[in-house]
Amino acid sequence: MKILVTGGAGFIGSHLVECLLAEGHTVLTLDDFSNGRPEFLAHLLNHPRHRLIVGSVLDRKLVKKCLSQVDTVYHLAAVLGVKNTVEDPIKVIEGNIDGTRNILELAYPSRTKVIFASTSEIYGKNEKLPFNEMSDRVYGAPSIHRWSYATAKSIDEHMCFAYAAKGLPVTVLRYFNAYGPRQTNSQYGGVVARFITAALKGEPLEVYGSGTQRRCFTFVDDTVRGTIAALRPEADGLSFNVGSTHSVTITELAQLIIRLSRSASPIILKSYAEAYGPGYEDMPAREPDLTRAETILGYRPSVSLEQGLIKTIEWYRERISLETV
Ligand code: UDP
């Protein structure tokens, strides 16, 4: 197939592009490098079935041109990261809503299949676990910036289902805390990348809040496996949880990373206010029900947290040692 991947130079996107090429597809990557990095695709730049276009999903003319060359689009380009969300909600709202609107509007006339990368954040602070695809969304007040990302992704999903009702083949994937090589490890990145970097540098691992909040961390290979399975037509018109069901607390995660990386770093607790500013809200736990993904996509995650962390630690170890040379 001919496939467009927006955000294809990013963390999940670059793994997806690699995998699609390995499966024999022709891939057009669109990325503006706002979050993605050229080096994540450097080894694929001369691949005969791959082309990279540097540009934004906000550029309608460019999106139209890219879409005219493919039969399917994976829309992964997004503005994400909890810190981004609390610091610049306008960028998060506009970036996520306008880009997705362009993709859907411009894919519609040719009925180009759209596979949209959504998020487990969509369930918000719903406490009824595990979340299935029809679970309620529970958010705090709109004055709490943290909910702007989930709200923007919710509008995106509403648009997806509205276009699906008009006959566009659309699939929505809700990723649960993906981690692995290439994840952003700055203060704008996810907790796994941040903890591993701190552990390898001998710096403290900062656990926010009580550390009892739970997440199901999913190795990126498993995330990509579910993403590729969404190509099948049976997935059209549906949303799917894509993640692991193995739940850990953030303190347990920190302890595991310290053990696996043989680090002497301490674990310190930091309040949410210190980490993200006043008025922050976190969700106590997130866990997917994978029944639908298993039944329709044949999806089952296969990489244990320990195996995935070992691979991820190795990747950061190499990069950190290169940085210090
Ligand atoms: N977190 C933490 N230390 C950090 C970064 C994050 O304790 O350096 C916590 C964060 O408050 C949340 C969990 O780890 O409870 C997962 O955070 P992340 O930003 O990776 O993703 P989220 O699940 O919040 O979308």
pLDDT class of 57 with cuts at 50, 70, 90: very high
Bridge partners for 174 per DSSP: 118, 241
Distance 234 CA to ligand 1 centre (A): 34
Q: Reduced to 3 states, what is the DSSP secondary structure of residue 270?
A: strand
Query: Three-class SS of residue 178?
Result: strand
For ligand 1, the distance from its centroid to the CA atom of residue 246, given in whole angstroms, is: 16
Active-site residues: which are they? 149
Q: Which residues, in sequence order, are CB contacts of 12 under 8 Å at separation 6+?
A: 76, 117, 175, 178, 220, 223, 224, 227
> Could you tell me the pLDDT band of residue 325, with boundaries at 50, 70 and 90?
very low
| pTM listed for this prediction | 0.97
> Is the per-residue pLDDT at 230 higher than 70?
yes
d(CA 88, ligand 1 centre) in Å: 18
Structure tokens at 81: 């990261």
pLDDT at 82: 87
Specify the residue with its C-alpha closest to ligand 1, atom 4.
Answer: 191
Q: Which of 32-36, 115-119, 139-143, 275-279 has the lowest mean pLDDT?
A: 275-279
- Residue 120 CA: nearest ligand 1 atom is 25
Please report the sign of the dihedral spanned by the C-alpha atoms of residue 59, residue 122, residue 229, residue 223: positive
Q: What is the DSSP letter of 293?
A: I
The set of residues, in sequence order, having a beta carbon less than 8 Å from that of 263 and lying 6+ positions away, is 199, 200, 202, 257
Alpha-helical (H) ranges within 58-190 are 60-67, 82-87, 89-107, 147-165
- DSSP-derived pairing of the beta strands 72-75 and 248-249: unpaired
pLDDT band at residue 324 using 50, 70 and 90 as cut-offs:
low
Going by CA atoms, what residue is nearest to atom 24 of ligand 1?
Answer: 82
Nearest CA to ligand 1 atom 16: 191
In this structure, the residue with its CA closest to atom 11 of ligand 1 is 208
pLDDT of residue 78: 97
How many CA atoms, within 13 angstroms, populate the side-chain half-sphere of residue 103?
A: 33
Looking at residue 2, its pLDDT comes to 98
DSSP for 263-274 reads: ----EEEE-HHH
Task: Give the per-residue pLDDT at 192.
Answer: 98
Pocket of ligand 1 (CB under 6 A): 82, 121, 177, 190-191, 194, 206-209, 213, 215, 250, 282
> pLDDT above 70 covers what percent of the chain?
99
φ, ψ (nearest 5 deg) of residue 297: -100, -10
Please tell me the distance between residue 106's alpha carbon and the centre of ligand 1 in angstroms.
Answer: 35
Predicted confidence (pLDDT) per residue in 295-311, tens digit: 999 999 999 999 999 99
User: Is 17:29 a contact under the CB 8 Å cutoff?
Assistant: yes
Provide mean pLDDT across the span 172-199: 96
DSSP tag of 42 = G
Tens of pLDDT, residue by residue over 200-214, are: 999 999 999 999 999
Between 225 and 320, the higher pLDDT residue: 225
Mean residue pLDDT across the chain: 97
Q: What angle do CA 93, 218, 268 make, to 5 degrees?
A: 80
Spatial strand order of the sheet with 238-242 comes to 50-54, 26-31, 2-6, 72-75, 113-119, 170-175, 238-242
Kindly state which CATH superfamily the domain 2-176+219-244+288-301 is placed in. NAD(P)-binding Rossmann-like Domain (3.40.50.720)
Q: Which atom of ligand 1 is nearest to the CA of 254?
A: 7
Nearest-CA residue for ligand 1 atom 6 is 191
> Does the pLDDT of residue 116 top 80, yes or no?
yes
280 has pLDDT over 70 = yes
Q: What does the pLDDT average to over 150-170?
A: 98
Give pLDDT tens digits for 79-92: 988 888 999 999 99
Give residue 291's pLDDT: 98
Find the angle CA(312)-CA(313)-CA(318) to the nearest 5 degrees: 100
pLDDT at 5: 98
CA–centroid distance, 191 to ligand 1, in Å, is 5
Q: Is 59 left (phi over 0), alpha (psi -120 to 50) or beta?
A: beta
Please give the pLDDT value at position 103. Answer: 98
Q: Which pLDDT value is given to residue 187?
A: 87
For the chain, the domains span: 2-176+219-244+288-301
Q: Which helix (H) or strand (E) holds 187?
A: none
Give residue for tokens 């001998």.
202
Pocket test for ligand 1, best of 11, 208, 218 (most atoms within 8 A of CB): 208
> Which ligand 1 atom sits closest to the C-alpha of 119?
25
Average pLDDT over residues 61-69: 98
Q: What is the pLDDT of residue 42?
A: 96
